[in-house]
Amino acid sequence: MSHESATAAPDGVESVISAASSVLRAYRLGDIADLAARKAARESQRRTVVVVGEVARGKSSLVNALVGRRDLCPVGVDATTTVAIGVVPTDDPPLDGTAELLFADRAEQVPLSTLADWATTGGSHVTDPRTPSLPTSASIPVTDTALPGVTIVDTPGVGGLDPAMAALATQTAQTACVVVVVCDASSPLTAPEMAFIREAGASVDSLIVAVTKTDKHLRRWRAIVDDDRRLLTEHLQRDITVVGVSSLRASLARDMPTGPDRDRAEEASGIVALRSLVLDRLDAAAGLPAADALRTLREGLVRVRTQVSAERDAIDGRGATVPDLTAKLDELNAFREQSREWEQFLARDLTELRQKAIEDSDRRLEDIRRRWTERITKSGIAVLRRSPQQFTAEMQSELEVALAETISGFLQSLYTTVVEPRFASDAVWEQICGRIVESMAGPRIDAPPVGSRKQGLFDPTLLNMGVMGSSVIGGMVGLSAVLGVGAVVGTLWVGVNLGFRAMRTGKSNLLSWLRETLATTKTVTARLLEMAIAQARPEIVVRHREYLRVSIEDLQRQITVARESATADASRREKDLARVTSNLEIIGKRLVEVETALGALAPAGALR
């Protein structure tokens, strides 16, 4: 598969999806066929490279080299990046040469030449005490890139090794993601780097280790690369690709005139090999939407096969007897009559799940409060004032993770305790979960201000909760999580207006800002859970009523077939049996086609 066509579905998959969908629609399972069609037609799959590493490892230079432009992410001895910066492909030429700063409550476009003033430790706005607020992330649109269609995220130097964020960023079925761990050729992998790779590797398949600054260590960088491979194999028992690269040589090569000399120089820098590795990993994930659709179709076909097999058994006398089927039918009818009582129990169950989720959130937020209170107390206000942007970005990151895990836990519990026992269908769950997520994506939630002007706090502090769908910016600066079983919520984003003035006015105000911000997060979490329950209850009730109706109709049809077969002559039974057997063969053939297509997409499935 070529890199240019990597996002297209593999040959033949579309016809397999179409044929399987036709079978489902013929057996009144059009909702499952529609769900599969939506998954297969998903055009918003992001191809993302997340570059992580400790400070001064050359991440920003490597990002520029991967893109093929040295004028993008700020680099230099004193240019330590303080926020995540995403290089995002665009077809809009006027945007090239600009950067978009994302504040907690707004976005602002600035000349690219001024990005370092906003996004590095020594930036003029970062160090200016009069700056009221700073961005928590930024994006750079580019029209000319050596990795077309790929978003590259340069993570902050300090705190860049965050396994939770890396794992969550790659756990969405809408994202083909590669994590590049950057170390340098001065020494083998450090303990924190090994720990990051170990933790992130538990949920991220596409990991690449890039050993940078090979131009400064010409005699030993190959030995360092070999040592890193050995360490990863010995300690992680995992074959992780390690490649040496010189970002400086790559940038110098890019400035050369097009021709063989430039090609050889780029090859020698190692950047061509790294780009090829990245694209190969992304291409392997190009079939994610198709694989997701095929798994849904497989579930529906298995359900149809079970139904038709029961009909065949009834015709030839091997199935359940009419009295047995009638007893099952009576049970379902009785359950339908008791549905009002069951719906009351459902309301109780949902309330209990909400309470458990709130208690879980309280524990997480209390842990954050305790750790950050200790940090503020031990570090001292002077230390914190040196890197206010980092302080707030880390706080935002922890709130994002805590909130995502709380909502994820709630939906997982909803699936295991309520939905799965009654439906035993991941497709039904995905439909229910999708509706819940849509409800949370709607209204904007503005929490009360934190602090007051007379306290010297930046007013108001706002937590904006929302699901931003699958926009590139949302995926780049936010938090992507697979919530529930196979259902993608998209990007859950918490924006926190910065507490810079609180830092400037003393430790007590900063602690007050921390307490009230956590209290606001708690309020917003509770409101999100209320919205989820308000949507979940009618969705579950309506779909359960439909499930009962269809199940009753299926049993009635089986009873009719069994009775007719009992009185039909041999010729009629033989004809009916031939018809049903032929249908089973068609269904079996479609299942084999789906399984074969899934097997061909196995690398994409593994990336999930």
- Listing DSSP states for 167-196 in one string gives HHHT--TTEEEEEEEEEETTSSPPHHHHHH
End-to-end CA, the chain: 20
**Taking a C-beta distance cutoff of 8 angstroms, is the pair 153, 86 a contact?**
yes
- Rounded to two decimals, what is the model's pTM? 0.68
- Which pair of structure tokens corresponds to residue 260? 């063989």
Q: Residues in the chain, how many?
A: 608
Predicted local distance difference test score (pLDDT) of residue 495: 34
Higher pLDDT, 42 or 65: 65
Q: What is the pLDDT of residues 91-102, one digit of tens each?
A: 888 888 999 987
The pLDDT of residue 437 is 74
Quick one: pLDDT at residue 469?
26
User: 293-307, 435-449, 564-578: lowest mean pLDDT where?
Assistant: 435-449
In the three-class reduction of DSSP (H, G, I as helix; E, B as strand; rest coil), residue 111 is classed as strand
Residue 360 reports pLDDT greater than 90:
yes
What's the confidence (pLDDT) of residue 205? 63
- pLDDT digit string (tens) for 542-577? 888 887 777 777 777 777 777 776 666 667 778 888
Q: Is 398's pLDDT higher than 90? A: no
Task: Supply the pLDDT for residue 363.
Answer: 95
Alpha-carbon span 467 to 206, nearest angstrom = 26
Q: Are strands 107-111 and 98-102 parallel, antiparallel or unpaired?
A: antiparallel
| pLDDT value for 315 | 78
CA distance 427 to 485: 10
- Supply 269's token pair: 């820098």
Q: What is the DSSP string of 301-333?
A: HHHHHHHHHHHHHHHTT-S--HHHHHHHHHHHH
**DSSP of 73-101:** S--STT--B-SEEEEEE-S-GGGTTEEEE
Concatenated DSSP letters of 428-474: HHHHHHHHHHHHHHSS-EEPPPSS-GGGT--S---EEEEE-TT-HHH
Round to whole Å and give the CA distance between 556 and 31. Answer: 22
Q: Is the CB of residue 79 less than 8 Å from the CB of residue 60? A: yes
